Amino acid sequence: MNNHGLCVAFAEKVPEFPARDTINRKLFMERFILTRVIVAFGDTYSLLRFVYNIYCNTPFGNIWITTSDWDITTLPFQQNLGYTYFGGGLSFSVHTDEILEFKDFLRSVQPRKYPQDIFIQDVWSNLFECPYLDKDWIRELSQCEQNGNLSTRPLYLWDMNTSPSSYKVHFAVYAIAEALHEELSLTVEGDSLRKGGPRALLPWKLHPFLQKCQLGRSSNEQNVMNNEVSATKLDIFNYQSLQSGTKAQVKVGKFVYESHSVQHFSLNDKIIMWGEHHNHTPFSVCSQSCPLGFRKSPIEGKPFCCFDCLPCPDGEIANETDMDQCIKCPEDQYPNKQRNWCHPKITAFLSHEDTLGAVLVSVAISLSVFSAMILGLFICYRDTPIVRANNRNLSYLLLVSLMLCFFCSLIFIGQPRTVTCVLRQTIFGVVFSIAISAILAKTFIGGCGLQGHQNLEALYKHGW
Rounded Cα distance, 100 and 222, in Å: 13
pLDDT of 40 over the 70 cut: yes
Q: Which residue has the higher pLDDT, 410 or 204?
A: 410
Q: Using CA atoms, how far apart are residues 51 and 46, in angstroms rounded to an integer?
A: 9
Evaluate if residue 225 carries a pLDDT over 50.
no
What's the rounded mean pLDDT across residues 53-61?
64
Average pLDDT in the chain: 76
| Distance, CA of 276 to CA of 274 (rounded, Å) | 7
Q: Residues, the chain, total?
A: 464
pLDDT at 342 over 50: yes
CA gap 262, 232 in Å, rounded: 11
Domain ranges of the chain: 2-95+229-271, 102-211, 294-344, 355-461
Buried b (16+ CB within 10 A) or exposed e, 136-146: eeeeebeebee
53 close to 19: Cβ distance less than 8 angstroms: yes
Q: Which is more confidently placed, 339 or 166?
A: 339
pLDDT of residue 373: 92
C-alpha 298/C-alpha 223 separation (Å) is 47
Q: What is the pLDDT of residue 329?
A: 93
Query: Given this model, what pLDDT does residue 80 score?
Result: 63
Task: Give percent above pLDDT 70 in the chain.
Answer: 73
The Cβ of residue 296 has, within 10 Å, a number of other Cβ atoms equal to: 21
Give residue 55's pLDDT band: very low, low, confident or very high (50, 70, 90).
Answer: low
Contact, 302 vs 286, CB < 8 A?
A: yes
188 pLDDT band, cuts 50/70/90, is low
> What is the rounded distance in angstroms from the CA atom of residue 262 to the CA atom of residue 344?
44
Inter-CA distances, 319 with 251, 292, 306, 312, 342, Å: 38, 6, 21, 11, 9
State the pLDDT at residue 11: 80
Taking residues 40-59, what's their average pLDDT?
70
pLDDT per position as a tens digit, 125-178: 777 766 665 555 455 555 566 667 777 776 555 666 677 777 778 888 888 888
Q: Which of 14-18, 283-287, 409-413, 444-448 has the highest mean predicted lDDT (pLDDT)? A: 409-413
Residue 193: its pLDDT value, please?
45
| Share above pLDDT 90 across residues of the chain, in percent, rounded to a whole number | 10
What's the first-to-final CA gap in the chain, in angstroms?
Answer: 110
- At the top level of CATH, which class does the domain 2-95+229-271 belong to? alpha beta
Cα 121 from Cα 123, distance rounded (Å): 5
Q: What is the pLDDT of residue 220?
A: 43
Q: What is the mean pLDDT of residues 250-260?
A: 86
pLDDT band at 335 (very low <50, low <70, confident <90, very high): very high
Q: What are 260-318's pLDDT values in tens digits?
A: 788 888 998 888 888 777 777 777 778 888 999 999 998 887 878 888 999 999 989 99
Query: 3-class secondary structure for the chain?
Result: CHHHCCCCCCCCCCCCCCCHHHCCHHHHHHHHHHCCEEECCCCHHHHHHHHHHHHCCCCCCCEEEECCCCCHHHCHHHHHHHHHHHCCCEEEEECCCCCCCHHHHHHHCCCCCCCCCHHHHHHHHHHCCCCEEEECCEEEECCCCCCCCHHHCCCCCCCCCCCHHHHHHHHHHHHHHHHHHHHHHHHHHHHHHCCCCCCCCCHHHHHHHHHCCCCCCCCCCCCCCCCCCCCEEEEEEEEEECCCCCEEEEEEEEEEECCCCCEEEEECHHHCCCCCCCCCCCCCCCCCCCCCCEEEEECCCCCCCCEEEEECCCCEECCCCCECCCEECCCCEEECCCCCCEEECCCCCCCCCCHHHHHHHHHHHHHHHHHHHHHHHHHHCCCCHHHHHCCHHHHHHHHHHHHHHHHHHHHHCCCCCHHHHHHHHHHHHHHHHHHHHHHHHHHHHHHHHHHHHHHHHHHHHCCC
Mean pLDDT, residues 195-217: 63
Q: Please answer whether residues 160 and 106 qualify as being in contact, where contact means their C-beta atoms are separated by less than 8 angstroms.
A: yes
More confident residue, 192 or 206: 206
Q: Does the pLDDT value for residue 341 go beyond 80?
A: yes
Checking if the pLDDT of 430 tops 70, the result is yes
Q: What is the pLDDT of residue 458?
A: 58
Would you state the pLDDT for residue 228? Answer: 39
Most confident of 234-248, 345-359, 400-414: 400-414
pLDDT value of position 98: 76
- Predicted pLDDT at 103: 81
